[in-house]
A and B are shown apart, each in its own frame.
Chain A
Amino acid sequence: MSTAVRSSILHLSVLCLLATLFFILPEYHSGNIARILIMAVYAMGYNLLFGYTGLLSLGHALFFASGMYGLGLSIDHLGLSAAPAMLVGLFSALAISTIIGFLALRTSGVAFMIVTLMFAQAGYLTILLAGKYTRGDEGFVIKQSDRIIAGIDLSQADNRYFAALILFAIVFIFIGILVNTRFGKTLVAIRENSERARMLGYDIQRHKLIAIIISGSLSGVAGAAYALLFGYAGATFSTVQYSIYPLLWVLLGGAGTTIGPLIGTVFMTYLIDISSEYTSAYMLIAGLVLILLTLFAPQGLAGVLRKKFLPWLP
């Protein structure tokens, strides 16, 4: 069986499993999974830049928040309906990631991390300063009547779950295809040795910029979808914490694997969820598990699977 066939079977099986889970799991968990799927979209966007291109950004919360506020503000202040507001969210993230990418790519390594972090902080402060429109720290709720696309009420648990799953599936398949294209393989070459890739005739800066734009746009779509499905947009989502989350999810799940972001997001969400039932020091447990995983499985869970058992894992 060829790698492409195995990979397609894996991707489809994951999607079938996720669709089945809705009918098996209690409502609490299906709500959790819907949230996880949206965050996994965010993590997949992040993974394209970090896992496949080798660029470590600490400012992705800005892209997530761009999508979220692009959608939220256009509904709240411009009176747009949900579908066009999603597009506003997407294009807000696309525009901001283009500008940030263009500026941040003048740096590399640690400087790139710091510059992206600073831009995200500037974004966070802008949201607070523009409190008249964004309602600052408090954020704002998106009314149930505004969360309807093509007559489907996305505030309903089942609709919300399957909307999250559809978005996840689109991005999951898109990433699966993208990383096997010439562009995707070039990103991997850049991650492995950018100088060597340049010597082979690849325009490194252009590829990195496109990767930032795609990554930022996917993060923005996740932000917009989160606001639409869960009915809230808040400044918390633009804090540094939300820039670090996707890094942790991707590291845990397996950077540079298509399935890793989902695994990492599920693992970390449930680790915190379960440990918080037993102790208020749940972040301590999460931190400890993170340290252990980093020490013993630095390639992440899917990375270990790929290295030891499934070399074809995409």
Chain B
Amino acid sequence: MLEVRSIDVAYDKVQVLFNLSLRVERGSILCLVGRNGAGKTTTLKSIMGLIPVRQGSITFDQTVLTTLPPHEIPGSGIAYVPQGRRLFAELSVKQNMDIGLMASGAGQDTYSSVLEMFPKLQERLNQRAETLSGGEQQMLAMARALCMKPEVILLDEPTEGLQPSMIELIRTVILQLKSQNVAIVLVEQHVDTVIAMADSVAFIVHGRNPETISGNELRDNPDRVERYLGVE
């Protein structure tokens, strides 16, 4: 289980997260919902150790992540797919995936099973990442993260800017990961996706988490998402 306990995070003197707490179990999806600038991406970066936590702690099972250097956090079973994909643009699809495989020490089985999830990438193995379409790049970003055999995956707006068929594919993969007992933290602006997939929803407002509700509560009262997102 991944648990964020009462963390304070700041960029220099500007504090952006205040006493924020979250929790996600294996085989479940926690959606982070909030307006732009609310602190969702900062939360994910804090979990990955990319921004130091001033107070509070982040733990995954028995491991205290806040005491680890950033490069050791993925080794504890946590993968991060950042917003904007951040691929190795000049490298081929296969080389991008190899770098994920090397990081985890995973073998051919993992490589094959990841490609089964994204058959389109199979046709593009030798193509440079920068020449892929937006949807294919997103697939590759997720595929590379999955090559690390994560137990927790942090997804920052994976459906942003994608066409409906691609969004559907990404959703299918997320549900597949959930069924494989992976814990998923999903930052998402698509209300439909949040309502359809979330097991729990943490609202983030100005770096604080005023409430966390279950997916069922949200489905009974979907207006709550729109209220926090500021959608009329």
Contacts and interface: CB of A to CB of B under 8 A. Distances in A.
B88 A201 contact: no
Contacts of B71: 198, 201-204
Interface string A190-203: 00110111111111
A192 B102 contact: no
A179 to B, nearest CB: 12
Contacts of A185: 95, 98-99, 102
A192 B91 contact: yes
Interface of A: 182, 185-186, 188-189, 192-193, 195-204, 311
Given A199-B50, A199-B74, A199-B80, A186 B88 contact: no
26 contacts: A185-B95, A185-B98, A185-B99, A189-B88, A189-B99, A192-B89, A192-B90, A192-B91, A193-B86, A193-B87, A193-B88, A193-B89, A195-B50, A195-B86, A196-B86, A198-B71, A200-B74, A200-B148, A201-B71, A201-B72, A201-B73, A201-B74, A201-B103, A202-B71, A204-B71, A311-B126
B161 interface: no
A262 B136 CA distance: 37
Contacts of A182: 102
B102 A199 contact: no
Contacts of B48: 199
A203 B103 CA distance: 10
Q: Say what secondary structure dominates the interface of chain A.
A: helix
B86 A200 contact: no
Contacts of A193: 86-89
A204 B71 CA distance: 8
Interface of B: 48, 50, 69-75, 80, 82, 86-91, 95, 98-100, 102-104, 126, 144, 148
Q: What are the 5 tightest A-B residue pairs by CB atom distance, in nearest-first order?
A: A201-B74, A192-B88, A201-B103, A200-B103, A196-B86
Contacts of B100: 200
A193 B103 CA distance: 15
Contacts of B70: 198-199
A74 to B, nearest CB: 39
A185 B94 CA distance: 12
A299 to B, nearest CB: 10
B75 A201 contact: yes
A203 B98 CA distance: 17
Contacts of B86: 193, 195-196, 199
A311 B95 CA distance: 13
Contacts of B95: 185, 188
B12 to A, nearest CB: 18
A199 B99 CA distance: 11
Nearest to A201: B74
A165 B26 CA distance: 59
A307 to B, nearest CB: 9
A204 B49 CA distance: 14
Contacts of A189: 88, 91, 99
Nearest to A3: B126
B6 to A, nearest CB: 24
A192 B128 CA distance: 12
Nearest to A202: B71
A139 B142 CA distance: 58
Nearest to B105: A182
Nearest to A307: B128
A197 B104 CA distance: 12
Nearest to B102: A182
A272 to B, nearest CB: 31
Contacts of B103: 200-202
A197 B99 contact: yes
A106 to B, nearest CB: 16
A207 B126 CA distance: 26
Given A200-B100, A204-B71, 10 more contacts: A189-B99, A192-B88, A193-B86, A193-B87, A199-B70, A200-B74, A200-B148, A201-B71, A201-B72, A203-B71
